[in-house]
Amino acid sequence: MFVFYTFAVGVALLVYYYLLRKEDKTGEPPGPKTLPILGNLLDLIWASSNMTQSLGILAEKWGEIYTLQMGTKKTVVLTSKESMETVLSNESALGREVSGTVSDRAFHKPIGILASSGLYWETLRTWAFKNLKDFGFAKSVEMESFIQTTAETLFNEIDTHIGTKKNSAAIQVDLLFHPSILTIMWQMCVGRLDPDDMPKIKILSEKGDRCLQSGVFGTGIVNAFPFLRRVFPNLLEYNIQMDYFNTCNAIAKRMYLDCEAKLKVTQKTKPSSLLEAFVLNTLNDKEMCNCENWQITFQDLIMGSTDTSSSFMEAFVLYLVAFPEAQEKVYQEVLKVAPNGGFPGYADRSETPYTQAFIYEVHRNARVLQNLAPHLATADIKYKNYTIKKGTILLADTRLYSESKEVWGDPEVFRPERFLNEAGELMDPSWQSIVSFSFGRRNCPGELHGKIVGYMFLAAFVLWYKVSIPMGQPLPRLDLKPGISSKPYPFEAVFTRR
Ligand code: HEM
């Protein structure tokens, strides 16, 4: 009887909550009618069987900015460049919503860079990136040596696949770049790359990739109804994600404790890695620099820098394979700046406008973070005639802008030349038309680092190898496999030594 009454009262409260409550929605962006409990989840599912298209399809009906109810969470979707740029740059749009998996991965504390907010976020983000600069972050000269070492290791691996008796081999591109790219941030964070580190890098790479490839459906459901992760942890792929976070946290904790012990013995005061800076700063600011904060900051930096950049490298290879003429143009251009087969530097980019245009065109087409990262409105925000209420989640969708006929003319065509003028020079504000790194003070802090890694890896890669579709195989699909971050569907390419 008790269960029955509890159930009846529960249902009555829900009906009251969803149907009878008078919530003032005046002035908020429009949107489809919401259902009790589900909100607009069915609208999303019905809009398209391809989840990456749904938000854009709804925007065609509701406009550049509209409201969706994701389970219990009110969300405003931004689909034009103007709305993304204006709203996300607003000082009241710098928050993050932390619940479910995002909260579990960080010991239920608002720590680290990616998911924290307010003064703590601002101080830690500024402190971490200022310190990273001392260890080569986003400085092309220092990074060139990291990238060369990394690229050499990767090319040796590819050469091993090819063997000594042949000049080419078909190689699976999935995950090819991930471990090498991870080593770049690893070295800046940890200050070393020992043989002992390699198994940890391998496991972080494999589990990290599995985590970020886990289904958008499960992640969406957990975001809408966080309690369901406890009920269906396998079905919603919560377990896959937590496996990666727990592994990463364990590795980071071990290195923090080892570093702390080592620094006590050596009495070193000048750090040579972010880890040492963190441990040394524990004495000055224990609230910001302690072991748990290190664990989550390390996770954010490794995840933020590796998955995005390595998915981009896979996308580069995909587009090189799919557009052999563009590949030849990039190769001929890079050859001019590195005629003797050395490593092209980042400074060479001004001599290689087509190569840069190729990178921009891959960014436009291969949107690894199509939805950027959700923000949270910490106060009411005005946009045109609309008011976005405090507490609303702000979700961008960059697809419609990247595929807009009005902006690009022929968006369906892969054409790096769109970024060049008649003289073959890069049009000046080209980069600004790319929206991959988000806007405002909460944009991607690794933008420059990402650009340097992307340019140098691509330039060195085309000098070493020509890639093509294996004989008799169809062109791999060019759309991306959805995930927390998207990447090309697994495909094979023939790597031929230049
Ligand atoms: C192709 C490469 C990359 C792309 C496309 C990319 C894209 C993004 C995007 C869209 C965001 C969300 C911004 C927002 O909330 O509005 C972000 C955040 C972030 N990215 Fe990147 N990123 C890349 C490379 C990197 C690199 C190399 C790092 C190196 C450390 C990095 C570290 C981060 C961090 C820590 C955040 C969280 C920032 C915060 O919440 O304050 N990313 N990135």
On whether the CB atoms of residues 296 and 120 are closer than 8 A, the answer is no
Q: Is residue 13 part of a domain?
A: no
Between the CA of 305 and the centroid of ligand 1 the distance, in Å, is 7
What tokens does 326 get?
């563009």
Cα 78 from Cα 80, distance rounded (Å): 6
For the cut 60, the answer to whether the pLDDT of residue 10 exceeds it is: no
Which pLDDT does position 24 carry in this prediction? 59
Cα 395 from Cα 410, distance rounded (Å): 26
Q: Which residue has the higher pLDDT, 274 or 342?
A: 274
Q: Is residue 288 part of a domain?
A: yes
Cα 383 from Cα 85, distance rounded (Å): 11
On whether the CB atoms of residues 67 and 31 are closer than 8 A, the answer is yes
Give the pLDDT band (50/70/90) at residue 199: very high
Give the pLDDT band (50/70/90) at residue 340: confident
Of the listed ranges 74-83, 131-140, 295-304, 306-315, the one predicted with least confidence: 131-140
What tokens does 267 get?
């009495």
What tokens does 269 get?
């005061």
What tokens does 390 get?
């405090």
Cα 455 from Cα 314, distance rounded (Å): 13
Cα 105 from Cα 112, distance rounded (Å): 11
330 lines ligand 1 (CB under 6 A): no
Contacts of residue 261, Cβ cutoff 8 Å, sequence gap at least 6: none
On whether the CB atoms of residues 358 and 448 are closer than 8 A, the answer is no
Task: Report the alpha-carbon angle 415-421-425, nearest 5.
Answer: 100
Q: Is residue 310 part of a domain?
A: yes
Mutate to test the pocket of ligand 1, among 248, 308, 314, 484 (most ligand atoms within 8 A of CB): 308
Cα 207 from Cα 164, distance rounded (Å): 32
The CATH number for 421's domain is 1.10.630.10
Distance of CA 49 to the CA centre of its chain: 23
Percent of the chain with pLDDT over 70: 95
Strands 381-383 vs 375-376: parallel, antiparallel or unpaired: unpaired
Residue 21, amino acid: R
Q: Specify the residue with its C-alpha closest to ligand 1, atom 10.
A: 372
What tokens does 208 get?
């990290």
248 is an annotated ligand-binding site residue: no
Which pLDDT does position 17 carry in this prediction? 53
Residue 372 Cα: closest atom of ligand 1: 10
Q: Is residue 8 part of a domain?
A: no
Render pLDDT for 45-91 as a digit per residue (tens, 0 to 9). Answer: 999 988 889 999 999 999 999 999 988 889 999 999 999 999 999 99
Q: Is residue 2 part of a domain?
A: no
What is the rounded average pLDDT of the residues 5-20? Answer: 52
Number of CB atoms found within 10 A of residue 109's CB: 13
Contacts of residue 319, Cβ cutoff 8 Å, sequence gap at least 6: 326, 358, 361, 362, 365, 366, 414, 478
308 lines ligand 1 (CB under 6 A): yes
pTM (two decimals): 0.91
Render pLDDT for 364-411 as a digit per residue (tens, 0 to 9). Answer: 999 999 999 999 999 999 999 999 999 999 999 999 999 999 999 999
On whether the CB atoms of residues 439 and 376 are closer than 8 A, the answer is no
What is the rounded average pLDDT of the residues 315-328? Answer: 97
Cα 364 from Cα 434, distance rounded (Å): 7
- Helix 274-281 × helix 291-322 angle, to 10°: 160
Residue carrying structure tokens 């990394």: 150
What is the rounded average pLDDT of the residues 129-154? Answer: 85
For the cut 60, the answer to whether the pLDDT of residue 475 exceeds it is: yes
Helix (H, G, I), strand (E, B) or coil at 380: coil
- For 421-490, where are the alpha helices, taking DSSP H only? 447-464
Which pLDDT does position 83 carry in this prediction? 97
* Domains of the chain: total: 1
> What's the first-to-final CA gap in the chain, in angstroms?
78
Strands 393-396 vs 73-78: parallel, antiparallel or unpaired: parallel
Q: Is residue 5 part of a domain?
A: no
Residue 301 Cα: closest atom of ligand 1: 30
For the cut 80, the answer to whether the pLDDT of residue 468 exceeds it is: yes
Between the CA of 457 and the centroid of ligand 1 the distance, in Å, is 19
How is the chain split among helix, strand and coil, in percent rounded to 5? Answer: 55, 10, 35
Distance of CA 112 to the CA centre of its chain: 16
Q: Is residue 190 part of a domain?
A: yes
Give the pLDDT band (50/70/90) at residue 483: confident
Q: Is residue 135 part of a domain?
A: yes
Render pLDDT for 272-299 as a digit per residue (tens, 0 to 9). Answer: 999 999 999 998 888 899 999 999 999 9
Q: Among residues 286, 293, 267, 265, which one has the least CA distance to residue 275?
A: 293
Mutate to test the pocket of ligand 1, among 444, 448, 485 (most ligand atoms within 8 A of CB): 444
From residue 222, alpha-carbon distances to 153, 238, 239, 392 in Å are 39, 8, 12, 17
Which pLDDT does position 37 carry in this prediction? 86
Residue carrying structure tokens 């994701």: 70
The whole domain housing 305 covers 18-497
Give the pLDDT band (50/70/90) at residue 496: very high
Q: Specify the residue with its C-alpha closest to ligand 1, atom 20.
A: 444
Render pLDDT for 207-254 as a digit per residue (tens, 0 to 9). Answer: 998 898 887 778 888 888 899 999 999 999 999 999 999 999 999 999
Average pLDDT score, the chain: 90
Which pLDDT does position 14 carry in this prediction? 55
Cα 390 from Cα 376, distance rounded (Å): 8
Which pLDDT does position 220 carry in this prediction? 82
